[in-house]
Amino acid sequence: MQKKKLKKTDKFLEIESKGITFSPISRNGWWVKLSMVQYNILLIFVSEYTGQTIIRFYDNEKKAVEFINFIINSSPTIELDFEDEDEQ
């Protein structure tokens, strides 16, 4: 079976050229991946123990840092449950 090669869209190429991505780091049992496109921040966390994956997007650096600190200080061995942010 042949793999189809997907064509990169203009929007994808624009984001790829303007984006900055950093290598994942391990802190307190969490793998943390950070990517930035202009002033937007994409955070990806994966627990080394449970495999729980948390993905968050921020346009505010202060809120992103607060969330990073919250996750890093949380136990990676229990599954975190988040309320729907739209309901707050």
SS3 60: coil
Residue 71 counted as domain residue: yes
Residue 60 counted as domain residue: yes
Note the pLDDT of residue 12: 75
Q: Give, rounded to a whole angstrom, the gap between the first and last alpha carbons of the chain.
A: 48
Tally of domains in the chain:
1
Residue 87 counted as domain residue: no
> Tokens standing for 43?
């955070």
Residue 12 counted as domain residue: no
Note the pLDDT of residue 1: 61
DSSP label at residue 17: H
Helices (H), 1-88: 10-18, 61-72
pLDDT digit of tens for each residue in the chain (88 aa)? 667 776 778 877 777 788 898 999 999 999 999 999 888 999 999 999 999 999 999 999 999 999 999 999 999 998 888 775 544 4
The boundaries of the domain holding residue 24 are 18-76
Residue 84 counted as domain residue: no
Note the pLDDT of residue 17: 83
Residue 29 counted as domain residue: yes
